[in-house]
């Protein structure tokens, strides 16, 4: 939330920091490059989510315990990533039509930064969850990692 408020304040008070004229690298990035980067992040993260889902199945079979909270979080992350990719697609299409001044350009570019940050955090969280899954031997004996 702090990041969103900070980027909104910058877009309003100092739009040249994130506008297309003040930051040409963001201008070029919030085009097809944004979708390319997100495509890679979403692919990797969804693969991690699928791996986590399969491991939760294995652990449930081995231990008899349910992991409904972990399953819910994994599904939520997967759908969040898909939704953010859709928002990014809309952003890339709408920016040339709606970002007519520096404030709006900065707002669209700031939104792309937020989308990248959220995708990165989801990637980190799901990857760390996959690596936190105990081995079959530890799961069967009830030990934690």
Quickly list DSSP for the chain: -HHHHHHHHHHHH-GGGTSTTT-HHHHHIIIIIHHHHHHHHHHHHHHHHHHHHHHHHHHHHHH----HHHHHHHHHHHHHHHHHHHHHHHHHHHHHHH--SHHHHHHHHHHHHHHHHHHHHHHHHHHHHHHTPPPHHHHHHT---
Distance CA 130, CA 77 (A): 13
> Can you give the pLDDT at residue 98?
92
Ordered per-residue pLDDT tens for the chain, 145 residues: 777 787 778 777 777 887 888 888 888 888 888 999 999 988 888 888 888 888 888 888 888 888 888 888 888 889 999 999 999 999 999 999 998 888 888 889 989 989 998 988 888 888 787 777 776 655 555 655 4
Residues 6+ apart with CB under 8 A from 103: 11, 12, 15, 19
Distance CA 45, CA 86 (A): 16
Q: pTM to 2 decimals?
A: 0.78
Per-residue pLDDT at 139? 52
């Amino acid at each position: 939330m702090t990041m969103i408020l900070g980027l909104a304040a910058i877009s309003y008070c100092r739009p040249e920091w994130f506008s297309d004229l003040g930051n040409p690298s963001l201008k070029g990035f919030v085009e097809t490059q944004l979708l390319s980067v997100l495509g890679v992040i979403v692919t990797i993260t969804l693969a991690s989510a699928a791996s986590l889902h399969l491991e939760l199945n294995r652990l449930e079979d081995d231990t008899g315990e349910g992991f409904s909270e972990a399953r819910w979080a994994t599904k939520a992350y997967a759908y969040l990533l898909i939704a953010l990719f859709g928002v990014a697609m809309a952003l890339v299409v709408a920016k040339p039509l709606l970002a007519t001044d520096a404030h709006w350009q900065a707002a669209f570019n700031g939104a792309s930064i937020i989308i990248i940050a959220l995708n990165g955090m989801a990637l980190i969280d799901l990857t760390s969850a996959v690596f936190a899954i105990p081995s079959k031997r530890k799961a069967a004996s009830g030990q934690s990692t």
